[in-house]
Chain A
Amino acid sequence: MTRQFLRHGWTAGLLAILALLFVFTKIIQPDFGTSGLDSLSRAMLPFAFATAAMAVVVIAGGIDLSVASMMAVAGVTAAVLMDGAGDGMTAVAVVIVLLVGLTMGAINGALIVITRVPDIVVTLAMLYVWEGVALLILNGPGGSATPWLRELIVGPFIVPWLPRSLVFLAVCLVAVWVPLKRSKLGLSIYAIGSNDLAAYRSGVSVGRTRIAAYAVCGLFAAIGGLTLTMSTGNGEPIPGPYLMASVAAVVLGGVVLGGGKGALLGPIIAVIILRLVRMDLTLLSVDPNVTTIVEGTIMVVVVMFGGVLAYRGRHK
């Protein structure tokens, strides 16, 4: 019982915070309804995918500072390929973008494994490389997104209060994460993050697993870049503020920097929390500079309380 609670307690706690925040939002903004939910969900989408990308590598014991740059590459690739394209070409473009993402991630991972340069250094370098690549593909905002693809993340799904963008997010995450988590690769990702020597001795190919984790990271980043193009309708080669936001959500979501612990659900809830807090503070017309202070404070306080609770739980 306590074991179950400790394992899922963090996610449950985040959900409780999220529920309180929604209540709070409804109080300060009685108009908040389906359209508000829809725009919140759409605004959150690229952040959510950036967070999922970051979460996978952090679970594997690494970090990827090039997430936002990879999103930019994927975004402009999509915008260029879809510019004036028909339905068939759009589908091909999506597949190409996803493959580009996987490749970028695998390159990051391979560089880390082969050169043995620390991940933080390699991905910092790649942050600049992918940024340059994005600008080479598209030297300024441009291109376009196929309308039916844009429709995928606009408006409600079946019931009025369920945004399509949220369903899109859930489908993409489940399609990648669930098979991964059940596979030996998923287990190996947790294993190398927890203790790579023990993983090596258990017969895990540590290098290949690390490359695979970065490839999955690249895949999520590519989907994130795609959603950027889908929601704005054009490609933007300059990376958005997704790097630090994704690290913040991953930490708040219960994934331990250093690896081995956590999952995707927590970080995704954390993304919604951070976005909602920002929205509420804007609604309250709080100075934007104060907003960032509040966000930072929330992170430290929540992670600290989580640590205290876990400590208490262990010493009972």
Chain B
Amino acid sequence: MTDQQAQTPLLDAKGVSKRFGAVVALEDASLTISAGQIVALMGANGAGKSTFVKILTGALKPDTGHVRIRGTERRVGSPAEARRSGLVPVYQEPSLIPDLSIADNLRLGDTPVADFQHWVHELGIDGLHLDDMISALPLATLRILDLARALAVKPDVLLLDEMTAALPTDLVEKVLDTVRKQADAGQSVIYISHRFSEIAEICDRATVLRDGATVGDLPITPGVEEKVVELMLGAVLDKDPTRTSTAAHRPEGMPRVTVRNLAAGTKLQDVSLDLYRGEVLGVVALEGQGQDQLFDVLAGMDSPTAGTIALDGKTVSFNHPADAIAAGLSFVPGDRADGLLMERSVHENIALPQLARFAKWGAIGMKKEAATVKKAIDRLQIDTRAQGEVQRLSGGNQQKVTIGRWIAAGVDTLLLFDPTRGIDVRTKRQIYLLVRELAEQGAAVLYYTSELAEVPAACDRAMVIFNGKVVDVIEAADADEQTLMRAAYGLTASAAVSA
């Protein structure tokens, strides 16, 4: 690439604004990208990132401003046209049709099959048949297929929206490697992620949005994280860790939850754990090591094939999620759509679990209910401008609602399954603080996260599951990413024997 080429931006968005009625979603958003660059697009909840992405990809038209590709103004009306004009997005949720086979999906988007297969292989997925139905494939595989499909059409600009969320660590590495290699070969990429480590690893620049405007465009250098956070938040955030003391919680007395030799489904082989009141027990595992089944069983959604669960020393068995809720186990699913009534209000969503617990058939105490709900909303700092329908909240606020509903109901034991997937740093921090606070008030929290860096921030201990078995339990103080990563890959001394 010559200097001349590097100076002509491949994609150039300037002064883009968009309002929805009285709400100004974007005021002055800009983004430029040259050939072979990876630019991170960053912004906290409500900064206008999603709106900007929709405008870039052609799903929305800007009110003012322009988007130019290779210097020509682009008026895009639909994703189909955006694709043709050279910008291909990979969205946070898979955009493959569930009831069609892989081959039909490729045909639908005019994707060259050979190139697609090349990329699938390159990204480390083997054993797929083109006539496999999409609905039968796991989420992580779908995300890789989405990426392979985008790469196969050789776009001018590739837009990756939280590409690595929900991917297991090994696939994340593959994806990052592949994207960086493609950029070195001249591919331009807009990279949206909340994970600083990934941005530092592959991006050249970071463009930061705040309140609908681009407030910074920084080259990625060591220590840029602080500056980016500063720009995103508009004020310096104190670097204080969320844990008040470095000393881990000392488990004492009878464990709240005792699990012995639990097995379920095909993946969960043999898991034992003790979860005490007042502690946050982290669960660390690569994708599909049995953690899903562990949470399903504890939440009463699946029956174990072997093993026992005891609460406060008394053995229990659940036939229905309502049994688990009645016993005080509150499950927050990883997929927000699984836990929320998207078309109902914030209020109703928060009030619902309380009904499951208190009101059998009788009337609902409206005033009392309203008061508890309001308390929960305040405490979580949920942005309720759009509280009529939960689906209109941003992802981070939706996640706060899923947790908030259990807090309003008076939480005893909280099962959190990847609660911070795909949400911004500020909301993440609020969630860590909330979890710590709950634990200090005596709640027992089981916390699965796909992001290793969260463990020391939010947990007291971390239990590592590999191949459906517990391979290690690590004190949070020792739980740096490297230790956890090694354990998650089954590389600890104890696992080396069995693996």
Contacts and interface: CB of A to CB of B under 8 A. Distances in A.
Interface of A is mostly: helix
A187 B109 contact: no
Contacts of B89: 201
Interface string B280-321: 000000000000000000000000000000000000000000
B100 A194 contact: yes
B79 A203 contact: yes
B207 interface: no
A198 B108 CA distance: 11
Residue from the set B83, B89, B107, B108 with the largest chain A CB neighbour count within 10 Å: B108
Contacts of B105: 202
A195 B98 contact: yes
B254 interface: no
Given A187-B104, A203-B109, A194 B98 contact: yes
A65 B167 CA distance: 44
A203 B99 contact: no
A303 interface: no
B97 A202 contact: yes
Interface string B25-66: 000000000000000000000000000000000010000000
The size class of the interface chain A forms with chain B is 20 to 34
Interface string A126-166: 00000000000000000000000000000000000000000
Tier of interface size on chain B: 20 to 34
A197 B98 CA distance: 11
Contacts of B430: none
Interface string A187-215: 11011011101111111110000000000
Contacts of B98: 194-195, 198, 260
Interface in A260-285: 260-261
A290 B100 CA distance: 41
Given A184-B107, A202-B108, A202-B109, A191 B100 contact: yes
B100 A197 contact: no
Contacts of A195: 97-99
Which of A188, A190, A197, A201 has the most chain B CB within a 10 Å cutoff?
A201
Interface of B: 59, 78-80, 83, 89, 91, 94-100, 104-105, 107-110, 133
Interface of A: 3, 184, 187-188, 190-191, 193-195, 197-205, 260-261
16 contacts: A187-B108, A188-B108, A190-B97, A191-B100, A193-B99, A194-B98, A195-B98, A198-B96, A199-B108, A200-B78, A201-B79, A203-B108, A203-B110, A204-B108, A260-B99, A261-B99
